[in-house]
Structure 1
Amino acid sequence: MFNPSKEQVRQFFTEAWRKHRHGQSLTPLEAQALDWMLQHPEYHADLEDPGAAQAEYAVEGGRTNPFLHLSMHLAITEQLSIDQPPGIRAAHERLLRRTGNPHEAAHEIMECLGQVVWESQRLGKPFSSEHYLDLLNRRATLL
């Protein structure tokens, strides 16, 4: 299983952004990441700043970690592509119908993913796909 370090993740995004800016070829994963980077212009300066790639993004600072946010987009994209956990694709379809916007639907999923990861870390329990899917399904059926 691929388990990159924080530095490797940040290097992946900054390198993909650099290659995009210089018109160089991207790997399929870099191209997928670029799609999300382009949808987040508020992160472009961070992707070009070597200092931002080294920065700590504490919650108390009130600023979203652009590398974590983009990583979550990629994780969700992968989950949807293989329907893992089973049912995430159907929940995504319902979120798409409810929001009418693929990016907003992805952010709805991200909220659920973030909550389950946070709870897992805080409580020292394994990640619960069932809880994740339950949160997604509840969010997908909101009116």
Structure 2
Amino acid sequence: MFNPSQDDVRRFFCETFRKLHAKEILTPLESIAADWIQQHPEYDHALRDVEAAVQTNYSVDQGQTNPFLHLSMHLSISEQISVDQPRSIQSAARQLAQRYNSEHEAHHQIMECLGEMIWNSQRSGLPPDGQAYIDAVQKRCR
């Protein structure tokens, strides 16, 4: 199982950004990441400088969005949808995309549920509850 460090994740997105703008060949995973990078031009400044990216502390207390966390969640949700894990995430994502007329907004709706599941798991010390996650996503489809 691949378990990248925070620095690895930040370097991956910065390198993908660099390769995208240099018009270099991307790996399949980089291609998916590049699609989300292009949909978030507000993160370009954070992706330009690898060393600054590694050193920056994105504090929720200061109201900062962590672009690497956000892009990672897009990547994770894309993978979940592609393999339909948890079961029914694919159809729920399709329904949300139709409801909001946007795949991107569907991802953001799912992201809220994913973040809540992770937060609950960390707070309780229990494993992530995949059923609660998919239930929360499906509620947003109604």
TM-based fold match above 0.5: yes
Structure 1: unaligned runs, 5 residues or longer:
none
Question: Is 1:115 the counterpart of 2:128 in the alignment?
Answer: no
Structure 2: unaligned runs, 5 residues or longer:
none
**Structure 1-normalised TM-score?**
0.95
Q: Quote the Cα distance in structure 1 between the aligned partners of 2:140 and 2:115.
A: 14
What root-mean-square deviation, in Å, do the aligned CA atoms of Structure 1 and Structure 2 show? 0.9
Tell me the equivalent position of 2:90: 89
Q: State, as a whole percentage, how many aligned pairs show the same letter.
A: 52
Deviation at 1:99, TM superposition (A): 0.6
Q: Quote the Cα distance in structure 2 between the aligned partners of 1:20 and 1:99.
A: 28
CA contact (8 A) 1:46 1:53 kept: no
Question: Is 1:37 the counterpart of 2:37 in the alignment?
Answer: yes
CA contact (8 A) 2:10 2:53 kept: no
Regions of 4+ moved over 4 Å: none
Q: Quote the Cα distance in structure 1 between the aligned partners of 2:58 and 2:84.
A: 31
Instruction: Provide Cα deviations, 1:75-104, integer angstroms capped at 9, x if missing partner.
Output: 000000000000111111211121111100
Instruction: Provide Cα deviations, 1:84-125, integer angstroms capped at 9, x if missing partner.
Output: 000111111211121111100010000000010011001111
Q: Quote the Cα distance in structure 2 between the aligned partners of 1:2 and 1:79.
A: 15
